[in-house]
C-alpha cells in the first residue's frame, strides 16, 4: 500500500481528515482483530490522566534524564506530547522508553521535544518515556508541556492534567537547607540519601529504626552550599 493510500485509510478511521495517533490506535486495533469500540467513552465518564515531569539537577558537561510519567495508565492507548525547554541551558539528545509502547521521539529542533506513542494493550509502568539532556550551562530551565493529546483505546480524547518540571544546576545554592527523600525506597542493599545546604555547614545524618532507636550516625564534616 502506498503512502497516499495509507493516509486515506488512516484519515477515514475517525473521519476527521487528519492522520494522527488516534487513527493509528484504531488501525492497530483493527489489525489485531479487536472488536469495534463501543459507544461508551471512558473520558465522558470522568476518566483523566495526569502526565508529569520531575525536578532534576545536574552540572554543565553532564547528561541528565527527565522521566515523563503518567497515572491511570490503564486508560491510555496513545498520545502526542511536546515539551519545551531553554536551549541555552539544555540540549535534548534522545528519547527512550522501557515500556512495550510503540514510541517515536524527535529532538531535532532546539528547545522542543516531540513524542508520539501507541500501546493498545495498556502501559505497564508509570514512566512513559525518558528524555536525555546534555547540560550546557549551570543555570535553570523550566520544562513545560506545550501540547498534550492523549487517547483512550476507542481513540477518543482523554482529559489530561499537566504537571510541568524544571532543571536546576547543582552550582546554584538552594533556597533552603533540607534532608530529601531517599531513593530507591524500599531498597536492597543500597540507597541514596540526598540533602541540600543553603549555606556551608557541618553535616551529620542520623538514621533511626522504626522503633526510634538510632542505628547509624554519618558524620560528613563541613560541606559547602
Q: What is the pLDDT of residue 6?
A: 41
Please answer whether residues 21 and 29 qualify as being in contact, where contact means their C-beta atoms are separated by less than 8 angstroms.
Answer: no
Q: What's the average model confidence in pLDDT over 66-76?
A: 88
Q: What's the average model confidence in pLDDT over 169-193?
A: 84
Q: What is the pLDDT of residue 123?
A: 63
Kindly report the length of the chain.
225
- The contacts of residue 81 (CB under 8 Å, 6+ apart) are 51, 68, 114, 115, 116, 145, 147, 148, 149
Whether pLDDT at 5 is above 70: no
Written as nine digits, the cell of 106 is 524527535
**Structure confidence at residue 183 as a pLDDT band (50, 70, 90):** confident
- pLDDT tens per residue across span 37-69: 444 444 444 568 899 999 899 999 999 999 999
Q: Which residues pair with 162 in a beta bridge?
A: 51
- pLDDT tens per residue across span 134-179: 999 999 999 999 999 888 877 788 899 999 999 999 888 778 888 8
What is the per-residue burial (b if ≥16 Cβ within 10 Å, else e) of 147-177?
A: ebbbbbbbbbebebeeeebbbbbeeeeeeee
Whether pLDDT at 215 is above 60: yes
**Structure confidence at residue 17 as a pLDDT band (50, 70, 90):** low
What's the chain's average pLDDT? Answer: 81
Amino acid at each position: 500500500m502506498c503512502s497516499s493510500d495509507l493516509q486515506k485509510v488512516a484519515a477515514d478511521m475517525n473521519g476527521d481528515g487528519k492522520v494522527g495517533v488516534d487513527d493509528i490506535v484504531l488501525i492497530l486495533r483493527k489489525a489485531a482483530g479487536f472488536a469495534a469500540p463501543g459507544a461508551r467513552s471512558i473520558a465522558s465518564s470522568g476518566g483523566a490522566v495526569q502526565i508529569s515531569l520531575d525536578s532534576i539537577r545536574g552540572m554543565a558537561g553532564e547528561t541528565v534524564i527527565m522521566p515523563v510519567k503518567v497515572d491511570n495508565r490503564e486508560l491510555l492507548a496513545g498520545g502526542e506530547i511536546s515539551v519545551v525547554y531553554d536551549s541555552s541551558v539544555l540540549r535534548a539528545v534522545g528519547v527512550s522508553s522501557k515500556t512495550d509502547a510503540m514510541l517515536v521521539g524527535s529532538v531535532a529542533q532546539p528547545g522542543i521535544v516531540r513524542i508520539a506513542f501507541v500501546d493498545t494493550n495498556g502501559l505497564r509502568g508509570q514512566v512513559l518515556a525518558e528524555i536525555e539532556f546534555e547540560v550546557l550551562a549551570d543555570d535553570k530551565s523550566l520544562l513545560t508541556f506545550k501540547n498534550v493529546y492523549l487517547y483512550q483505546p476507542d481513540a477518543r480524547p482523554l482529559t489530561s492534567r499537566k504537571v510541568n518540571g524544571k532543571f536546576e544546576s547543582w552550582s546554584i545554592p538552594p533556597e533552603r537547607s533540607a534532608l530529601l527523600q531517599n531513593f530507591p525506597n524500599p531498597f536492597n542493599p543500597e540507597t541514596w540519601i540526598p540533602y541540600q545546604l543553603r549555606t556551608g555547614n557541618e553535616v551529620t545524618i542520623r538514621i533511626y529504626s522504626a522503633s526510634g532507636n538510632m542505628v547509624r550516625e554519618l558524620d560528613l564534616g563541613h560541606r559547602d552550599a
